[in-house]
Structure 1
Amino acid sequence: MKIDIDFFSDTNTDPSRGMREAMANAKVGNEVAGEDPTVNELVSEVCNLLGKEAGIFLPSGTMCNVIAYKAQVEVPGDYIVLDETSHSLVVQSGLIAAQANANSLPIKGERGIFKLEQIEEYITRPHLRNIPRTRIVSIEQTTNFGGGAIWPIEYIQDIAKLCKANNVYMHLDGARLFNACAHTNIKPKEYVKLFDSAFVDFSKGLGAPMGAVLVGSKEFIEKAWYYKFQIGGGMHQAGIIAAGCLYGLKNNIYLLQEDHDKAKYLSNALDKIAKIDIDKSLYETNIIYFGLKDTKLPLDNFIDVLLRYGIRMLRIKDKIRAITHRDISYDQINFTIKVINETLKLE
């Protein structure tokens, strides 16, 4: 079935003509030997933007997470504290246990965000020989399953202060960090300076087909290189990929607010449909969740009806997720709303 309007994810963007041209014309070299000029330029740009001294180019954000965890877990079984809905815990194939040899300590936050008092006991408790130590606090900005919620920087500052005092690492899953920055006008380096490691992803709103950069200290990145090789992340002539990331960084980062505006437009329109259950005030960035009410139409059937019109959304438990991005137009949103209205009127 042909998908014309894809709300499934902002990873489902097509590289633009300009991005494809940049990739086709990229200067390349041996990435694993540090000889690819386009990769080197991308890493340098990201380090400057995030305020970190070193970085490493990787195919995906998932690889960034697993390498950051592996490089900072000191003893097998160490705890990684993170929200119970975190992407790396829920949908990254058990990487914490299988790859990082660590235990997860899931915290029940609100929309993917927890507070200092919820984790303080795990950070400050005395070390006992039969209880794992907490080594990492991992934060996702923005939260995917939290509907694009933005961690208040004050929360992060408080947690970072506690972690630093207790020799606990801070890691930022910044797959959509630039979306948070677009909404808050807080510079990326203001967030990232609070973390020992962080990554940004280029395959979300920036529209690249793949690629992410993990940053931190020189010592940390040297460890990251070891684990990059270990899990098969070494690349050759990777400048072709990095050129797409650079194009997105230079041209599309300033367009992210448009994605947020589209999500707001969609949520406002959904809120006017009687059988749609949505709290439109919750959604600040490009991810929204909604449900159905006063209807016997199952969610899966609703999703199938949309698909027949070439519209794709994703069911997550008792909600439907829609993510706006550069390849969705306002006309397509209007068409989607029309289809939803007609579907629920007929039900």
Structure 2
Amino acid sequence: MKTVDFRSDTVTQPTTGMRDAMAAAPLGDDVFGDDPSVNALQQAVAERLGFEAALFMPTGTQSNLCALMTHCQRGDEYIVGQFAHTYRWEGGGAAVLGSIQPQPLNHQPDGSLLLSEVEASIKPDDVHFARSKLLTLENTIGGKVLPLPYLSDASALAQKHGLARHLDGARLFNAAVAAGGDPYVAAHEITQYFDSVSVCFSKGLGAPVGSVLCGSAAFIQQAKRWRKMLGGGMRQAGVLAAAAHYALDHQVARLGFDHALAQRLAAGLQGLAGVTVEAPQTNIVFVEVAGPRAAGVIDHLKARGVLATGLYKLRFVTHLDVDETAVDQAISAMREYFAG
């Protein structure tokens, strides 16, 4: 029985074309700024997303942390969603390493933050309070796409109150592909509302490592200092940057296939007793299982060669290393479990 892995789109393996690009990458020392493959990737991402500059990072966690530490000083505050990666899933790095206070807010059903609550959470200029400095959003958030009108309104609110704006765009290109049309144009339409954006290449885009942080030239220069301090100064990093560059050029549009597979999976799980399936917008399918049967579903799936996660809901993520057959295997395993 073949094991199919729906735990995350981070489990993808480099394609043959990507491995060839990595092997052929011209290299230098990136700490000295001499790696041509890193420089080419940074320039390409900055240009496509509409920023002056960009910086290649080992991970999305480090990319977001460098962004927060560049926007905020000790004793400052960032406003963020309860389930945003920068608050919940990245080890509390902003607070632990940056002395930056998070102000988490509840998400609306569509993944957004209610703008009236954002505004109410902004602190007055008073010595009793942390200084509100930054609004941080995530797109996609839980696989959901934040609409452009919402991003426009959130950006305007932040600017009205003098807040900087950061986007955790780990799955930015999933949001762009879901919008339809040219995904690079759609991505730029999203990023125009932010002062900085972090984009992951090691999720649906299939690179083994890497994230890119975009911003102004001055912002990136300061972020580079934080990257070095946080241990992210790599040397012949072009072998990794080449994989991300290959993904940028060749593996963006195909994200639509992952979205179609998620739709196929969700449709196949409809009608199971005690099971509620969220209609996926991109490549993530969340499933709620009611009652005592929830406890055994992960183990049953694993025994049938299907890997999934269940931190707070059962989650399946489609990606370039699963296909229709893998989806059908997951559907069959789920249906077997709930038929018993």
For the 8 Å contact 1:3–1:312, the answer to whether it is kept is no
Cα distance, 1:240 vs. partner? 0.3
Cα distance, 1:300 vs. partner? 3.5
**Which of 313, 316, 326 in structure 2 is aligned with 1:332?**
326
Q: How do residues 158-169 of structure 1 correspond to structure 2 at under 5 angstroms?
A: 158-169=153-164
Q: What letter matches 2:305 in structure 1?
A: G
% identical equivalent positions: 34
Aligned residues: 335
Is the partner of 1:138 in helix, strand or coil? strand
Matched, 1:194 2:188: no
Structure 2 regions of 5+ residues with no counterpart? none
Q: What letter matches 1:287 in structure 2?
A: I
For the 8 Å contact 1:82–1:105, the answer to whether it is kept is yes
Partner of 1:208: 207
Distance (Å, rounded) in 1 between the aligned partners of 2:333 and 2:158: 49
Partner of 1:94: 92
Matched, 1:67 2:62: no
Distance (Å, rounded) in 2 between the aligned partners of 1:344 and 1:190: 43
Partner of 1:45: 44
For the 8 Å contact 1:54–1:215, the answer to whether it is kept is yes
Q: How do residues 104-253 of structure 1 correspond to structure 2 at under 5 angstroms?
A: 104-111=102-109, 112-123=111-122, 125-144=123-142, 148-185=143-180, 187-253=186-252
Q: What letter matches 1:205 in structure 2?
A: G
Q: What letter matches 1:209 in structure 2?
A: P
Structure 1 regions of 5+ residues with no counterpart? none
Is the partner of 1:46 in helix, strand or coil? helix
TM-score after normalising by structure 1: 0.93
Cα distance, 1:343 vs. partner? 1.8
Cα distance, 1:52 vs. partner? 0.1
Cα distance, 1:301 vs. partner? 1.5
User: What per-residue deviation string (whole Å, max 9, x for no partner) do you get for residues 191-236 of structure 1?
Assistant: 1121111111100111000101101011101100110111111011
Q: What letter matches 2:320 in structure 1?
A: R
RMSD: 1.5
Partner of 1:301: 296
Cα distance, 1:302 vs. partner? 1.1
User: What per-residue deviation string (whole Å, max 9, x for no partner) do you get for residues 136-175 of structure 1?
Assistant: 100010013xxx0111111111121122232211000000
User: What per-residue deviation string (whole Å, max 9, x for no partner) do you get for residues 52-91 of structure 1?
Assistant: 00111100110011001111113x2211100111112111
Distance (Å, rounded) in 2 between the aligned partners of 1:231 and 1:82: 22
Q: What letter matches 2:82 in structure 1?
A: E
Distance (Å, rounded) in 1 between the aligned partners of 2:84 and 2:2: 28
Partner of 2:287: 290
